[in-house]
Structure 1
Amino acid sequence: MQTPFPRRHALALLATCAAALPAAPAWAVDALAQSRSFVSMFGNKLVNIVNSDLPLEKKKQDILPLLNQYVDVDAIARFCLGRYWRIATPEQQTRYLKLFHDVLVNAITDKIGDYRGVTFVVGTSAPSGDDTAVSTVINRPGQPGADTQWIISTASGSPKVVDVVGEGASLRLTQRQDYGSFIARNGGNVDALLRALDKQIANHH
């Protein structure tokens, strides 16, 4: 199984910015505006921590509550398991959600130290199925701008990040393909994936 959460996705989850509204039907304006405000708020909080002079461990501690509050980790986890979510037992589902959360948090917080002087170029917001896509360009000193699209859902009752698209690749689609292939190679056994994730977390430093 490939290393979960490619670098572009882990890095992208650490920064975002406000997005300008494009022309849209009246019924869509509220959803677009809500997503824009959400991304701006969430991004500002992240950037303030990432660009601060706080020790790395303190940055990790401060970012964790933001991820828990503003990223719909469970929804992303269920999507990534794909059809295997439906055949997993309740015990396997519960264990998987916990492992997925730990793996995602590790992947994101491990990259915090890579960021300094983050700034953004405002992009656009547009409907994306039932969700809203907010486009941004993330800039760091000495690095090319990274086009990043944030998929925001309100299915939980409040805006939350449910996907990040970096360099044209979706975090959740990439991960679902990886997990699906891994489980298929192991005879459709969900426990094989759970053991692999457990091992990865145990080996995390």
Structure 2
Amino acid sequence: MRISAFARRLLTSAVVTAAATVLFTGHATAEPAQVDWEAATQALHTATAGDPAAERAISRLLGDARIAEASRDAALPAQPFQIPAESNVGRGGGPGMYGSGLSLNIDGFRFGFFGGPGTIAPNQTGARLDVAWLNLDNGRSGIEQLTEHMDIIADTTIRTRAIDPGPGMIVAAVYGNLWHRWPVPVSTEHPDGFQYVRGDITLPSMGAVYN
């Protein structure tokens, strides 16, 4: 089977991401930039003013102990966010640890998310996953929906379009919900041979990335 150039880049990125997930210790560079999480979270919350869903999501991070305990070393693209997400379904064993946001360099700078039970369902009707971001150095900010995903084994993430946040330290938080699926025997209840579940994020995944 022929694989497109984009799919090959995606597969390479997935390998890099998986390696980063296992090996990442918070030290992305010899002299990593340091993050003031309390100030960064407050700045991101201020930047989302006017978007009720984003404001509500980021407010859950304000004063949370997990923010204070997170590594203060900024990451580089293709590394998971320092603060993972929690959801009502977790990784399939009940509420709790769910997954992580991340930044990617696939045909440009993108944000992504991976995690949850099973795989990401190709149909996301009734769910919406967003990322709010702010470049602390140049003041650029935005809210982007994560919509790009290919229904192939190699694609373990869902991503935003390519954006241009500019150079500097970027803080971001992924929030919302996402459909997952995994194979089960075909039945009246599961005519397509899949079980579906929607993960609703209860604690956004937050990260600081040095672009």
Taking structure 2 as the reference length, the TM-score comes to: 0.26
Higher percent of residues as strand: 2
Higher percent of residues as helix: 1
Taking structure 1 as the reference length, the TM-score comes to: 0.27
Q: Which has the higher contact order (CA 8 A, sep 6+)?
A: 1
